Amino acid sequence: MSSGSLIELLDAFEGAAMAAIESAGDAGALEAARIEFLGARQGRLRDLQGLLGQATKEEKPLVGRRFNEVKTRVGAALEARQRVLARPVRKVGGLDVTLPGSRDPQGRRHPLTQTILEFKEIMGRFGFSVADGPEVEDEWHNFEALNIPADHPARDPLENFYLAAAQVAARDGSSSPPRLLRSQTSTVQIRVMESSPPPIRIISVGRVYRPDTIDATHSCMFHQMEGLLIAAGTTMAQLKTVLRLFARAYLGQDVSIRFRPSFFPFTEPSVEVDMSWGSRWLEIGGAGMVDPNVLRAVGYDPDQVTGFAFGLGIERFCMRRYSIPDIRYFTGNDLRFLSQF
């Protein structure tokens, strides 16, 4: 007999056995079904077992696996049905009060929301409080004050989501300066320093927008955590320690963090930060010592205070922790994904 027809026989057996178990209305009927399908001496599964020997050597693993699977499933269904039928029935006014209740589905927080709450908690332990800023920004906070001059390529309209000026003007009933969806949370550094004197120790978490080509690791909207510490005598060593401690607190002791010299207009010196992911490195953000031009832009005296800043991509941390292979899962709204967190 070919393995194809053996598999078909096993499929048919499973279907018939499951139907008989499900429709058994009392213990007697269930016992009859057990004897018919799983009985040790004359049961139908036993008959099928006798046929397994006819499978060829190559077919054996496949047929054997399916046989065991069917046996386990039917056995489990039988036990489950036995438990249901053994339940004492207590009727109150025609209502079986022993029936299990129906549960209302329970929602849960989105994995990124969970990650953000945990980031805030960890940074809170390091003494950082949380600041917020708007997602629709002006060019001063997104660029100018961050030492990104008008001719800098990062300001190219094609690299940013500018709001249509006409629309904004119509809404305000006036001509208004250009606005854009912020491309980085560094904007909040400026807003905080403009409104409070040093020392400063804040993080800011939120959405940023860039017209990137979407793929497994890039999205046109993602989340960043910005950090800013301004105080006399701040050092790069402190920055590196904070980032290392943060990464270990969220990802565990086995994560390595590496710093590569880089350039950002708002920091000097600047570094790019990578984390280990298996045998590879993945970029998670940028950091550096706050550029004196930025301190001057907000009215601080660079001779009195120094500070460090960093900006990290939140999705990548969450992806590494839970081995999520594609950033698009976060916005796919697939309950099979979301209900795992």
Minimum Å gap between C-beta 183 and ligand DAH is: 7
CA distance 316 to 216: 11
Question: Which residue from 310, 317, 329, 330 is in contact with ligand DAH, where contact means CB under 6 A?
Answer: 310
Using the Cα atoms of residue 86, residue 90, residue 93 and residue 95 in order, give the sign of their dihedral: negative
Q: Which stretch binds ligand DAH (CB under 6 A): 46-54, 55-63, 85-93, 284-292?
A: 284-292
Residue window 218-257: x/- pattern of binding to ligand DAH, with contact defined by CB under 6 A: --------x-------------------------------
Maximum separation of any 2 CA atoms in the chain, in Å? 94
Q: Which stretch binds ligand DAH (CB under 6 A): 53-61, 174-182, 246-254, 264-272?
A: 264-272
Three-class secondary structure of residue 252 per DSSP? coil
| 206 near ligand DAH (CB under 6 A) | no
Question: Which residue from 287, 294, 305, 319 is in contact with ligand DAH, where contact means CB under 6 A?
Answer: 287
Q: Of 217, 329, 235, 331, which Cα lies nearest the Cα of 284?
A: 217
Minimum Å gap between C-beta 139 and ligand DAH is: 15
Tokens of 204: 């800011």
DSSP state of 262: E
| 187 near ligand DAH (CB under 6 A) | no
CA distance 216 to 296: 39
| 285 near ligand DAH (CB under 6 A) | yes
Cα–Cα separations (whole angstroms), residue 186 to 18, 205, 281, 314, 326: 61, 10, 24, 14, 26
Question: Which residue from 133, 206, 307, 311 is in contact with ligand DAH, where contact means CB under 6 A?
Answer: 311
Q: Kindly identify the residues of this chain, within the stretch 36-65, that bind ligand DAH according to CB under 6 A.
A: none
Task: Please report which residue ranges of 202-235 form alpha helices under DSSP H.
Answer: none
Minimum Å gap between C-beta 241 and ligand DAH is: 16
CA distance 327 to 286: 20
Q: Which stretch binds ligand DAH (CB under 6 A): 34-42, 55-63, 249-257, 306-314?
A: 306-314
CA distance 175 to 111: 41
| 24 near ligand DAH (CB under 6 A) | no
| 186 near ligand DAH (CB under 6 A) | yes
| 119 near ligand DAH (CB under 6 A) | no
Minimum Å gap between C-beta 115 and ligand DAH is: 18
| 264 near ligand DAH (CB under 6 A) | yes
Question: Checking DSSP bridges between strand 129-130 and strand 200-209, what pairing results, if any?
Answer: parallel
Question: Checking DSSP bridges between strand 91-92 and strand 95-96, what pairing results, if any?
Answer: antiparallel
In the bound state with ligand DAH, the residue whose beta carbon lies nearer, of 198 and 285, is: 285
Question: Which residue from 203, 309, 314, 319 is in contact with ligand DAH, where contact means CB under 6 A?
Answer: 309
Three-class secondary structure of residue 243 per DSSP? helix
How many CB atoms neighbour CB 91 within 10 A?
Answer: 9
| β-bridge partners, 129 | 202
Q: Which stretch binds ligand DAH (CB under 6 A): 32-40, 42-50, 97-105, 304-312?
A: 304-312
Asked if residues 173 and 133 have their Cβ atoms less than 8 Å apart, the reply is no
In the bound state with ligand DAH, the residue whose beta carbon lies nearer, of 18 and 198, is: 198
Binding site for ligand DAH (CB under 6 A): 184, 186, 226, 264, 266-267, 285-288, 309-311
